[in-house]
Amino acid sequence: MTPIIIVLTWAVFQYGILLLVRQSVTHAATVAAREAGKGEPIDVIGRVVDNVLIVHCLDIADENGDPIPNSGMRVLLETGDPLGGSPLVQSFGDASVVCDAPDGPDVQPDEVRVTVCIDLSKPPMCNFLFNFGLTELTFEGKRLVISSLVKKE
């Protein structure tokens, strides 16, 4: 009985931390989209995301504003084409993180969308249950992907 209670306690901690990080990533995507709507470039958008997520020790850029390799984070910026063509897509961060733009809704000519992707299997994300051999309940190979769509100013 005691081992089950210990595993459940670690599971509560692990998923509680994940929920806090998810809320912060949602906020980071919203703030970054707001700045992107003002016409800020992708490196500024990356620093905005970095400033919001630094409280969770999630760094996408170093002190010079350059992307950190193997950070486990990536930001996509999609800017609507004024001529009605495909949106311009730019990325910032760890190129090894798979970060695809959402299928919908389509980015209109007067809109921008910011997508923040985090690889949950990389530090500093907690993976307590891995130590108990519960590979089905771990974050290995899982990503957190949050997008925010706004109108250009």
CA distance 78 to 111: 8
Mapped onto helix, strand or coil, the DSSP state of residue 3 is helix
For the sheet containing 73-79, what is the strand order?
88-93, 73-79, 111-119, 143-151
Which residue range(s) make up the domain with 57?
2-151
How many domains is the chain partitioned into structurally?
1
Beta-carbon count within 10 A of 95 CB: 12
Considering the entire predicted model, what is its pTM? 0.87
pLDDT tens for each residue of the chain, 153 residues long: 788 888 788 778 878 888 888 999 999 999 999 999 999 999 999 999 999 998 888 888 888 888 888 888 999 999 998 888 889 999 999 999 999 889 888 999 999 999 999 998 877 666 666 666 666 666 777 889 999 999 998
